[in-house]
Structure 1
Amino acid sequence: MRTPLVLLLACATAACGADTPARDSLLAVVDTVNGVERLSYSADPATQLAWRFDTLAVIGGAMVEDENYQFETRGLTGNAEGDLFVADVQGKRILRYDRSGTFVRSYGREGAGPGELRYPMAVRLGPGDSIWVVDTGNNRVTIYDATDGGSRTLGSTQGGLPTNIALAGGHFYYVAGSVLATPAARADEQPAIPLVRAALDGAPLDTLWLIKPRPLYTLEFRSGNNLTMTMIPMTFAPTLRWALLSDGRVVVSDSANYVLHIVTPDGTIERTIRRDPPARPVTEADREAAREEVRSQSGNPGLTGSPDFVRQWLEKMTFADVIPRITNLAVDSKDRIWVGVSVNEPEKTERIDVYDASGRLLGEIRDPAFFPRLFYGPDLAARVTTDEFDAEQVVVMRLVE
């Protein structure tokens, strides 16, 4: 059954002005597929959101001598008061800053003992602002008390150490295993990887989603008697993206087409959101541009800059058939769903669509300069960039609507 439904998109006062009448809305089509409600949006332009990000602080950079402002980050998180937490893989620690960018304190140090870190890959906040750190170097999740810095270690999790986690409603969410396929077997022949809702001790409660492993291939590089093996994913293959709403529902994207699934904490698909156009076919120009990007790494420091490594990479490159539409996915502090969209250029966010938690399209941001890495606090966002010396910086911003 397909029923046309007009979703009225009233302009926010800050974006359009109090006396400005609402623009025409998109015509959404609502139907039900296998008992799941589906909202389908056309490719026509939606209400343009005149939102902006005002910079509040820039943390770090090559010209800052204080070691507490020098880092190489793999993860960010923040609390409701506006404090920012940076997972520093270079310093083997978690750095905490207030909303003005002032250093507050650090958690952890290098090592394998209690409370020590080797490779803090991801950081999230749990109950009472407890700090949850995925430490791939020590193959464990370490949890710090935000006040006194004391620590404990999470018990084992299903499928080995997760690389991406989230917490809400007194529960722990994680992907139970690698979403990359084993090179020795075809990706479509390997078991699906579950996205799990677990108790705070790591014990699994529900499987929310099953993820198909992403195809990859192996590159080998020999230097003297040393053999290094690196796994490279198929170019343009869809990537699993998921984000957590405050009530424990999860937004999932795992296909090349513009499709979002809102999943309840027990694993029931509550609603599906689609928007046209479908994923476009990969062209030879797309493939050549990807090859050129690999060629440009030749001569760079490290393994990937080795001419022999680059040659193997080019020889073994494989490509998906279509370009994925969704490039980024996040949920902000007001439970709005932000979707980065590729319009023409592969893997580039050329538009941001914003939905409320029920899947109603609020509008779009066209030609954005960036997609925020993190939303936190009442109205804050952060992104990671580099200065002119390639030193990492975290930019703290306020979202102005």
Structure 2
Amino acid sequence: MLVWIAAAPPPAFAQDRPLTADFPEVYRAGGLSAPDWAQFSGRGAVSFDGSGNLFVLDTRAAQVIVIDPRGEHLRSVGRSGEGPGEFELPFQLVVWRDGRFAVSDMLRESIQVFAPDGRFDRILRMGDQGALMIRPDPNAVALYAQGSSQSGSRASSAFDELLGREPQRDSIDDFGIGRIDLTAEEFVVQPLLQAWRAPRDEAPEEAPEQLTLNDFLDQAKMDALWFGRVEGRFFEPQLRWDILSDGTIAYSDSSAYAVKLVRPGGQVIDVLRRPIEPGGVSRRLRSAAIEREIGRRESLFEDSGGLPRDVRERIEEREFYPEIQIIRQLSATWEGGLWIRRPGEDPWDTGGPIDVFGPARQYIGTFAAGTISIPWAFGPDGLVAYWEVDEMDVPTVVVKRLPVEVR
């Protein structure tokens, strides 16, 4: 049941239409006492098909578990291995409405496609474009994909050069969206959209260091290659995007509250806005951002002797974008609406307020900060999936049902 709160909100939220919702639980699977099939090793990707079946990717177990709308085990697909239908390092899961699904594998640099009954269909080799972030095309056996930043491919490019191979260049970068036809003979990313990127005033790119095979066996060297680069500014706007049920691309690429709706051909058909201005960057926020980034990098270098001094200095000297991007997360609902999360108390706070837009692109209302998070997956008939963990970090997937007004 959706409840409209009649009391006047605090002045800071006067422009919001506050929402609260009772999301009834449909079922849960997982936890310490769960059957073997629901002993999930972590919180992996989840997605629904058009029948309300929930697909769960368990990366450590190298399999996809399918749960029917009553919460019963339907089937498990996959295992560790190098053969058809087997995975080495499954990374992403996409599910189409007819029940077909695909899994990307980082180590095999491939995407495997499966029939609705779980039978292996085909495999496509991605090459060095395995870092793509993918979404299913709701109208075809195809994917929409966002590219990766150039720094993310430095190690693989260096390895290619060491082996005498021509480094493969992504056809789209981290501000580009393309389409991949999975029925084609070859894996090809067709660029569709290049979003705006905040201009940078940077020094020219340094020539890459020549690496030897011994360098790839040196943990400290590899950590520096993967995790030591410091580029861009703190709080630079990032590309946030998703695909609506009719195939429209919804995306935000600036600090403003503006969600562009674009047809696959690149035509902007609408822009969703709210009269909310981006916040500035205070001295306290600058200090907190630097401290947080140093802590994050230290955890990445803990196996190779700690954070190098030059990396720490580059973080401390890193510049700041002047304002905070308002749209922190953007997710499309099954019916074609949008849930949009704004910043919480700090930009990295994941508990910020969530605005809901309906399929007709109208503003419905806002869930207050700290009351709810965006679901991991939206499904038919208002089904949504969340992950929960207990005090021992044992995961449970929880399926709930949304009221009609916020689907």
Give the superposition deviation at 1:329.
Answer: 0.8
Q: 1:182 to 1:99 in 2, by over 3 A?
A: closer
> Secondary structure at the residue paired with 2:384?
strand
Query: Using the alignment, how far apart are the partners of 1:379 and 1:214 within structure 2?
Result: 41
Partner residue, 1:309: 307
Amino acid at match of 2:268: I
Q: 1:59 to 1:296 in 2, by over 3 A?
A: farther
Query: Using the alignment, how far apart are the partners of 1:160 and 1:309 within structure 2?
Result: 28
What does 1:168-247 correspond to in 2, within 5 Å? 168-170=138-140, 172-175=142-145, 177-179=147-149, 181=151, 193-201=175-183, 203=188, 207-210=192-195, 212=197, 225-226=218-219, 227-229=221-223, 230-231=226-227, 235-247=234-246
Of residues 334, 355, 380, the one that matches 2:383 is 380
Contact 1:298 1:306 in 2 (8 A): no
Q: 1:223 to 1:291 in 2, by over 3 A?
A: farther
Q: TM-score scaled to structure 2, two decimals?
A: 0.75
What does 1:364-375 correspond to in 2, within 5 Å? 364-367=366-369, 368-375=371-378
Q: Does 1:356 align with 2:358?
A: yes
> Secondary structure at the residue paired with 2:24?
strand
Contact 1:298 1:310 in 2 (8 A): no
Query: Using the alignment, how far apart are the partners of 1:237 and 1:391 within structure 2?
Result: 35
Q: TM-score scaled to structure 1, two decimals?
A: 0.76
Q: 1:296 to 1:350 in 2, by over 3 A?
A: same
Contact 1:206 1:267 in 2 (8 A): no
Q: 1:306 to 1:392 in 2, by over 3 A?
A: farther
Contact 1:256 1:323 in 2 (8 A): yes
Figure out how many residues of one structure are paired with residues of the other and give that number. 360
Amino acid at match of 2:241: W
Partner residue, 1:115: 85
> Secondary structure at the residue paired with 1:277?
coil
Contact 1:194 1:210 in 2 (8 A): yes
Q: Does 1:259 align with 2:242?
A: no
What does 1:29-48 correspond to in 2, within 5 Å? 44-48=14-18
Q: Does 1:15 align with 2:6?
A: no
Deviation string 1:332-360 (CA, Å, 9 cap, x unpaired) is 12211110111542133421111123432
- Which one has the bigger helix percentage? 2
Query: Using the alignment, how far apart are the partners of 1:361 and 1:306 within structure 2?
Result: 50
5+ long unaligned stretches in structure 2 = 155-171, 206-214
Partner residue, 2:336: 335
Give the superposition deviation at 1:294.
Answer: 5.0
Deviation string 1:211-235 (CA, Å, 9 cap, x unpaired) is 6499999xxxx99943323336754
Q: Does 1:77 align with 2:70?
A: no
Contact 2:338 2:358 in 1 (8 A): yes
Query: Using the alignment, how far apart are the partners of 2:25 and 2:308 within structure 1?
Result: 39
Partner residue, 2:402: 399
Query: Using the alignment, how far apart are the partners of 1:395 and 1:310 within structure 2?
Result: 42
Q: Kindly report the root-mean-square deviation, in angstroms, between the aligned alpha carbons of the 2 structures.
A: 3.8
Contact 2:175 2:239 in 1 (8 A): no
Seq. identity, %: 23
Give the superposition deviation at 1:49.
Answer: 2.3
> Secondary structure at the residue paired with 1:289?
helix
